Amino acid sequence: MTDAAQWQPEVVDAERLSTDERSLAEIGTGLFERLARDAGQADAGPLNLVRLPDGLGVAVVRAVRGGGTIFVAPDGSVLYLASAIDITTGLDVFRDGERTPLSRFD
């Protein structure tokens, strides 16, 4: 298990993700697109993909003001955190099992 304090997040292109990781990234991307649409925005803006350590899944980071991070686990469950929470702190919360109900994105 990787210590989140030592983990260094790295933005990767979707092509560098495995097929399973790309599917997880699509879940996070779709949720950000839904949030943007509900807020009356044309699109979610720039989204960065980060592979999480220890096979925990992927993080989709909305790199705009008021953005945030959606962590997506291999089972498709997610955790949304506002941009005020850095990704390494978010990883600890995600690893501890905190999740955001998908109904919150409806």
pLDDT at 30: 95
- Please state the pTM of the whole predicted model: 0.91
> Would you call 53 exposed, middle or buried from its count of C-beta atoms within 10 A (0-12, 13-18, 19+)?
middle
pLDDT in tens, the chain (106 residues): 555 568 889 999 999 999 999 999 999 999 999 998 888 888 888 899 999 999 999 999 998 777 899 999 999 999 999 999 999 999 999 999 999 999 998 8
Q: Tokens 């990883």: give the residue.
A: 91
* C-alpha distance from residue 4 to each of 1, 7, 38, 91 (Å): 9, 5, 33, 7
Please state, in angstroms and rounded to a whole number, the distance separating the CA atoms of residues 41 and 51.
27
Percent of the chain scored above 70 by pLDDT? 95
